[in-house]
Amino acid sequence: MGQINLLVLVSLGYVLVLFIVAFAAERAARAGRIKWLRAPLIYTLSLSIYCTAWTFYGAVGFASRSGLEFVTIYLGPSLVMLGWWWIVRRLVRIGRNQRITSIADLISSRFGKSNLLAVGLTILAVVGTTPYIALQLQSVTQSYAVFAETSQSGLDQTDQATIAFWVAIGLGLFTILFGTRKLDVNERHDGVVMAIAVEAIVKLIALLAVGIFVVWGVAGGVAPMMEKINASDIGTWNVSGGRWAGLTFLSAAAFLCLPRMFHVMVVENADERHLRMASWAFPAYLMLMSLFVLPIAVTGLDLLPTGANPDMFVLTIPLSQGQNGLAMLSFLGGFSSATSMVIVAAIALSIMVSNHIVMPLWLHYSGSGLSVSGDVRYVVLLARRVSIGAVVMLAYFYFRLSGGGAALAAIGLVSFAGVAQVLPVMLGGIFWRGATRIGALGGLTVGFLIWGYSLFLPSLGEGVVYSQSFMEHGPFGLSWLAPQALFAIKGLDPILHCLLWSMLLNTTVFCLLSLVSFPQPLERLQGAQFVNVFEHGSSTRSWSSNVAQSEDLMVMAQRIIGAREAQSLFRREAEKQGISGLVPEPTPEFLDVLERELAGSVGAATAHAMVAPIVGGAAVSVDDLLAVADERAQLMVYSNKLETQSEELQRTAKQLRRANEKLTQLSVQKDGFLSQISHELRTPMTSIRSFSEILRDSADMPPADKARFAGIIHSETLRLTRLLDDLLDLSVLEAGRVSLNVSQKSLREILDTSIIGMGLGAETGFEIQRQRSREDILLRTDVDRLAQVFINVISNARKYCDAAAPCLKIHVFQSNEQVTVDFIDNGSVIDAGMRDVIFEKFSRVGENEAGGAGLGLSICREIMIRLGGEIFYLPGQGGSAFRVQFPRDMAQE
């Protein structure tokens, strides 16, 4: 037992070194020396917890059994990091903005802070990660067994179980010591991360050392090694394309969804810019870790006796060559791989269990009052410590139950397939605003059940849960429901079989239920924040009540994040509100900030549940509801009947057609206006220029001709001035810069002035019929502007009335304080298609000699708006008719 005792001492010494490193890092963090602790290199090395005992030991075994397939477990994560800009960067940004503490917290927060969803994710994560932690215990136990065999002492099953038990106890204590020492609002553990970075270097050096020894110490150099690989069966490219793609996808999905990977990649990320280095440095690290896998596998198969465990080649090759020191270094590398994974996985799972299971139960049974009177920090920390112990011991029991005999790679793939069930919901949640909580629950449930039924339970071993007959013939003899031949698809590898059906049905159910269900307002708000994370800020306003007392909120915050942090937060928010002291107003903005800070310690769902009773309930404000409706046709989302939606669409389409027709008419009128205005400007300018040149060049011109030409120039100048005056008048009216000169005058006098000013009389051939007795109405208005409207309407009737004996009737009505004047001629009516545009600036009825720029009615409309009245076309009068309505006294409007 000398070798075993030495291993125990080395293991304890190594753990002591990690303890010192973690302790020093924690002290440096408390002292504020965090720049080097949170450097990009440390962040990149922390990602190495992906390289567990599976990749240290199991990759060689994988290569020995399946050849180049082992590359897939490195290829998937490398592709994810190389494409960090699309997914990982988004996750990190969301994690920082929303104070995400775990992958369950991410999904829960995205779908309306649903604790039910968080509980489901937590259970899935615990069950899916348990085989992986058991794998680490198995690898350490097998390492001890290898050394025991070399000393001819050996280890029986009881001894191995004992070693696994004490390893689990030791790792659990280390994790509790450095993972739950304090409650951090950002869930960052500087000591643990630094210890992981050290372990990353140790396992890389150990694996490279064994590889260098194998290539140059055993094979005799690169060339002989390449010859051995070429001669070996595992060195040939005999890989199934479907299995290759499936395993690459599985490793990529697991890299994103494993709780421990999400924790170091998102939660422990101190600066988004660290991803730039990690995007190339981590794939380079994986390349170095895989560099000597194939040479070690080929050498082990060639050098060691038949039946030797290929998972342990990294240890047995140095031992077989008498390189005990190298074997000890290799043992430390494998021990580092196992311990780092167990530590971070236990921390991540304990956060999920405490935040989403223990805390909600505690809040439910203790009553909401304890959220401001109980020691919440103590409850959270105690829950996490107990959770760490429970998770580690659960993995130990899985190790005992499964017998610990399966290949490491097989156990790892089982765990990968389990956590990969989160991928559809995760990607759907951060890229698709239409994803709903119902869809996420349905998809996760279906995927988890299929994984458990077809892969997890069979992995426990024959006879433990399923009998051999059940595996072959399915339940009740239904062979198409056999766990590893679902829907009569036989012959597939169990991993690929489970991956196919679980991901297919998971994604299908998630999408279908999301399409047929309606998200709650808070889901919509969170969806906008997640999907548009690079456009939105970090605030998601979900509180509209202000009945909370700031003192109660302060007490609750101190119980969770500590007195110093809480007081600093409240003081900072009070300063933002311009208030001195520690008592800010409980505005919705402040409540959002407080909730996010609390979420960093207890999770989004629990923080929401703790704030709600004090605030008096959570509600989404009207402004937030309006913000949700920024997508086209959002008002139709809440319609329950397809027929109602169809009718609404038809009405909208009809309105759009009318608007389009009107725009088309306006476009035509605009073109005509531009042509007309250029003509109107060019004609007088041409006349002025021509006659001016004649006057300039004809010195001996008779005086009569000079007077005639000067008169023409004068009249053309007046014509040009009128046109420009109309344009200027319309511009002033539309801009609202016109000043009204209000005075008193009777309607009869205004009409008389308008008619006389136009020079209209019986001798002109244009008859005007009036009821003068009704026109004795005293008006208080801008008389000149009103006369301008009358003149324009009468002028149009004179120009456009095409009757043989043109006649204009002027009817006056008075109702209360409103005066109505109708102008009706006996000419042709205006076409229905033109009635919607005749008051637009560019409109002219016909192209006859009456001409005009089409500004008259537009000016009239603007004037009437300023006078508090209106002018519009009056159909059904036997001719063209316009009605002018306005108040009798503008001062009363």
pLDDT in tens, 32-52: 777 777 789 999 999 998 888
Q: Where is pLDDT greater, at 539 or 8?
A: 8
Task: Specify the higher pLDDT residue, 459 or 827.
Answer: 827
Coil vs helix vs strand at 152: coil
Locate 866 and state its tokens: 């300023």
Q: Residue 320: is it exposed, middle or buried by C-beta count within 10 angstroms (0-12/13-18/19+)?
A: middle
pLDDT surpassing 70 at residue 237 = no
Helices (H), strands (E): how many in the chain?
A: 37, 7
Task: Compute the distance between CA of residue 33 and CA of residue 247 in angstroms, rounded to an integer.
Answer: 42
- The stretch 167-193 carries a mean pLDDT of 73
Which tokens go with 40? 């990009």
Task: Express each pLDDT in 327-355 by its tens digit.
Answer: 999 999 988 888 888 888 888 888 888 88
Residue 767, both tokens? 């008859």
- Calculate mean pLDDT across residues 708-722: 71
Instruction: State the distance between the two ends of the chain, measured CA to CA, in whole angstroms.
Output: 106
Q: At 588, list the tokens.
A: 């919705």
DSSP string, 217-250: IIS-SHHHHHHHHHHSGGGS----HHHHHHHHHH
Give yes or no for a contact between 867 and 781, defined as CB atoms under 8 angstroms apart.
yes
When comparing pLDDT for 359 and 282, which is higher? 282
Range among 93-102, 110-119, 201-210, 724-733 with highest mean pLDDT value? 201-210
- Between CA 162 and CA 156 the distance in angstroms is 10
pLDDT band at 681 (very low <50, low <70, confident <90, very high): low
Please name the residue that has the structure tokens 């559809």: 424
CA 345 to CA 134: how far, in whole Å? 12
Would you state the pLDDT for residue 684?
67
* pLDDT of 91 above 90: yes
Tokens 């960067």 correspond to what residue? 89
The DSSP result for 499-553, as a single string, is HHHHHHHHHHHHHHHHHHS---HHHHHHHHHHHTTTTS-S-----------HHHH
Q: What is the pLDDT of residue 605?
A: 62
**For residue 744, what are the β-bridge partners?**
780
Mean pLDDT over 79-91 rounds to 93
**pLDDT-wise least confident of 297-301, 462-466, 617-621:** 617-621
Nearest CA among 419, 416, 411 for reference residue 461: 411
Between CA 272 and CA 407 the distance in angstroms is 38
Residue 724 confidence (pLDDT) above 60: yes
Higher-confidence position of 399 and 442: 442
Closest CA to 296 of 64, 50, 141, 55: 64
CA torsion sign, 616 to 621 to 625 to 627? negative
For residues 881 and 797, give the distance between their C-alpha atoms in angstroms, rounded to a whole number: 9
pLDDT of residue 417 exceeding 70, the answer is yes
Q: What is the distance between the alpha carbons of residues 740 and 732, in angstroms, rounded to a whole number?
A: 12
647 has a pLDDT exceeding 90: no
User: Which residues sit opposite 813 in a β-bridge?
Assistant: 820
Per-residue pLDDT at 653: 81
**In the predicted structure, residue 730 carries a pLDDT above the cut 90:** no
CA distance 742 to 532: 55
Q: Distance between CA 857 and CA 851 in Å, rounded?
A: 14
Residue pLDDT, tens place only, 818-852 = 899 999 998 888 887 777 778 776 566 655 444 55
Q: Count CB atoms within 10 A of the CB of residue 623.
A: 11
Residue 818 is inside which H or E element, if any? strand 818-825
pLDDT at 635: 39
Contact (Cβ atoms closer than 8 angstroms) between residue 525 and residue 624: yes
* pLDDT for residue 429: 93
The per-residue pLDDT for 79 is 95
Contact 90, 437 (CB under 8 A): no
- Is 744 strand, coil or helix? strand
Is residue 347 within 8 Å of 263, Cβ to Cβ?
yes
Question: Residues 6 or more apart from 589 whose CB is under 8 A from it?
Answer: 539, 541
Does pLDDT of 479 surpass 90?
no
Residue 535, pLDDT score: 77
pLDDT, one tens digit per residue, over 514-558 is 999 988 877 888 888 898 888 765 544 455 545 456 667 777 777
Contact 94, 530 (CB under 8 A): yes
Highest-pLDDT range among 11-20, 233-242, 443-452 = 443-452
